[in-house]
């Protein structure tokens, strides 16, 4: 097992696309983007003789947490060839990644899981979810509240405006990750024909108030007509980012009212998206599916817990069980003390108030699920008073949301 060299990038990508069933010819500039985005020192690959048979890599990201930002190793591109399953290769890749994360002082590792049954055993928990929304072509959103001005942006304007709005939203919404200039160029603004699926190129629309951008939506369209001639086009929301409720309402109303495209779909809406609460007919908006998105593993529990803000003061002694620790499975206890919304977290001894697996701590970390829910599921153990105190401390008024697969 080792990192790859520059002349092995194409081999890495060929293995990745082979396992996931992608067409290499559909993305002729993929290796160029790979080199721009991936630090080759953060690739973890398994070789069987001369054959590259398994891959993984990590992005260096900042993760927004309640009240702050924490360094995160973003685990990605994890593959093992079907010919080499059940040999411990995945466990070795994860171990390499976590060693790297610890060596770099990153308190958190995060990922989007290709399968829901894999990563819990390595200490990752679902920290953010999203809704797939479908908005039917019915009389739409309630009017009467103020709205911002909207304008369509050309590519140069989008490159200036969108990163600034996203960075401002990241300070408010947990679960988002930082995007570098290279990320914006190669991931968000590179409009590859192979991902359009017959739809239009990306369109960028901004809303403004007093001349200042307050949100944006990125969308694609696909025109269609019913047999009788009625417009039946689809508008796909790729990303909707708003700094407040007025901006969000403006953008949802905009996408719902585009002529010729009465069907609106959003694959990745925050679970607290305002769209269902704005509709004049609530049943016109369907939550087609709720999906897990960002999974987190707290690699340095003390540093991670101390990095976020809390909704209430209090103290908790937490026994955290790690099924995949550096020295094998084990448990450790920390004392979390929050005073004035500011936390400190240190190793502790003695009886714990709550006992939980590391994956459960990852799930409550951003405030996306209440500790009491996991206690009812048997994933957090302790007295009712301690669970209630954890609910008050870990709560956050904005639901976590991860805007993009990485």
- Can you tell me the distance from the alpha carbon of 299 to that of 94, in angstroms, rounded to the nearest whole number? 12
Question: Any idea which residue has 């048979």 for tokens?
Answer: 53
Are 387 and 318 within 8 A, CB to CB?
A: no
The active-site residue out of 119, 124, 254, 261 is: 119
Query: Which tokens hold the place of 72?
Result: 């995160």
The full DSSP string for 218-237 is EEEEE--B-TTS-B--EEEE
Partners of 289 in beta bridges: 132
Burial degree of 92 (CB within 10 A; 0-12, 13-18, 19+):
middle
**Distances from the Cα of 271 to the Cα of 217, 297, 387, 402, 404, angstroms:** 17, 21, 23, 11, 15
Known active-site residue 44: no
Known active-site residue 406: yes
Number of Cβ atoms within 10 Å of the Cβ of 326: 11
Query: Which tokens hold the place of 36?
Result: 């721009």
Just list the catalytic residues. 119, 406
């Amino acid at each position: 097992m080792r990192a790859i060299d520059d002349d092995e990038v194409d081999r890495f990508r060929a293995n990745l696309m082979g396992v996931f069933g992608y067409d290499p010819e559909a993305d002729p500039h993929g290796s160029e983007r790979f080199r721009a985005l991936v630090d080759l020192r953060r690739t973890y690959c398994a070789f069987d003789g001369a054959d590259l048979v398994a891959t993984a890599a990590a992005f260096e990201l900042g993760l927004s947490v309640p009240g702050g930002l924490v360094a995160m190793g973003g685990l990605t591109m994890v593959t093992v060839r079907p010919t080499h399953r059940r040999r411990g290769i995945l466990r070795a890749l994860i171990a390499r990644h976590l060693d790297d994360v610890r060596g770099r002082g990153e308190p958190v590792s995060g990922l989007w899981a290709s399968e829901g049954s894999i990563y819990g055993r390595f200490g990752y928990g679902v920290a953010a979810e999203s809704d797939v929304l479908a908005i039917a072509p019915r009389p739409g959103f309630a009017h009467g509240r103020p709205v911002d001005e909207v304008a369509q942006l050309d590519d140069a304007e989008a490159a200036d405006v969108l990163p600034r709005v996203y960075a401002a939203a990241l300070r408010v919404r947990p679960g988002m990750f930082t995007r570098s200039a290279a990320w914006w160029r190669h991931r968000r603004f590179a409009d590859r024909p192979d991902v359009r699926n017959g739809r239009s190129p990306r369109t960028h629309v901004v809303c403004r108030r007093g001349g200042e951008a307050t949100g944006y939506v990125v969308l694609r369209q696909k025109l269609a007509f019913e047999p009788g001639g009625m417009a039946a086009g689809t508008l796909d929301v790729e990303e909707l980012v708003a700094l407040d409720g007025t901006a969000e309402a403006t953008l949802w109303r905009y996408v719902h009212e585009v002529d010729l495209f009465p069907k609106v779909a959003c694959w990745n809406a925050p679970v607290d998206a305002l769209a269902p609460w704005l509709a004049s007919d609530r049943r016109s908006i369907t939550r087609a599916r709720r999906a897990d998105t960002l999974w987190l593993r707290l690699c340095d529990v003390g540093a991670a817990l101390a990095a976020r803000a809390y909704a209430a003061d209090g103290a908790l002694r937490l026994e955290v069980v790690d099924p995949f620790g550096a020295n094998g499975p084990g448990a450790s206890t920390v004392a979390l003390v929050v005073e004035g919304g500011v936390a400190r977290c240190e190793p502790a001894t003695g009886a714990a108030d709550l006992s939980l697996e590391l994956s459960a701590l990852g799930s409550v970390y951003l405030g996306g699920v209440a500790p009491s829910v996991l206690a009812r599921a048997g994933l957090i153990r302790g007295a009712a008073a301690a669970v209630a105190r954890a609910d008050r401390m870990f709560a956050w008024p904005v639901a976590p949301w991860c805007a993009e697969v990485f």
